[in-house]
Amino acid sequence: MTSTPFITVQGLTKSYGDLLAVKGISFDVTPGEVFGILGPNGAGKTTTLEMMEGLRDITDGSVTIDSIDVASNVEKIKSIIGVQPQNSAFLDESRLGELLDAFASMYGVKADVFDLLSKVGLESRAKAYPEQLSGGQRQRFSIAVALVHQPKVLFLDEPTTGLDPQARRNLWDLVRTIRATGVTVILTTHYMEEAQVLCDRVAIMDDGNIIAIDTPKKLVHDLLARGFKPHMEVQAATLEDVFIDLTGKDLRE
């Protein structure tokens, strides 16, 4: 990666009293990259993300997005980033089109409802209510809402948690499409496979620290170079592939 960093995180720290949730982490993200933050539950992924989004006070260190300091320009930052929070919900008894319209208005823009819904494969559901959507549809709609003001950066916090394999793969396709439009994507996940297929680079977090950061390929390569041998014989396909093959790859509505 040679291009200049688009997002710079430096010595980012979050403490709750004596408890250090994030311990002075630093990393850069280049424009147009899909950057993954991996780690077990409680590693500090969401806290890191929320500090980058301006939703949580930064105890120490700094985050800069597109040369704007997050801590001192929260409102400016909010208008150039799109955020899909973990398990977020929408107002019930409001149609998808109306919600998109309202969210666009919060950024002072008008929403092209059809275009946004087409992007996430929900073009026929403008009049539906969020409570009528399946889990995967809801996540995709949530991404459509995050894209309503054409942000430069998209933050996805565990976008595929709780989704079935088809819906998950469909969401991966969606993230790739978004990436192709030049949007920088930062996502957290605890699915290694997801990180491997989706992310250009990943940071592995544990206990508030980044313990490794590189391309998935390089990380695996380094591991093998250290003399690592997999416990199991490597299979050419997984049970999930069998499942997908038998039930069909297309997303089931």
- Options 1-9, 79-87, 168-176, 182-190: segment touching another protein (CB under 8 A): 79-87
Q: What is the DSSP letter of 98?
A: H
CA distance 52 to 121: 29
Q: Does 73 bind another protein (CB under 8 A)?
A: no
- Strands of the sheet containing 19-29, edge to edge, are 19-29, 7-16, 60-65, 68-69
Q: How far is the CB of 80 from another protein (least distance, A)?
A: 10
Among 9, 43, 65, 99, binds another protein (CB under 8 A): 99
Strands 60-65 and 19-29: unpaired
Q: Does 105 bind another protein (CB under 8 A)?
A: yes
Contact, 28 vs 213, CB < 8 A?
Answer: no
Q: Does 102 bind another protein (CB under 8 A)?
A: yes
List binders of another protein among 39-68 (CB under 8 A): 53, 55
- Options 27-35, 93-101, 113-121, 236-244: segment touching another protein (CB under 8 A): 93-101
Site string for another protein, 116-145 (x = CB under 8 A): -----------------------------x
Using DSSP, state whether 158 is helix, strand or coil. Answer: coil
User: How many other CB atoms are found less than 10 A from the CB of residue 197?
Assistant: 13
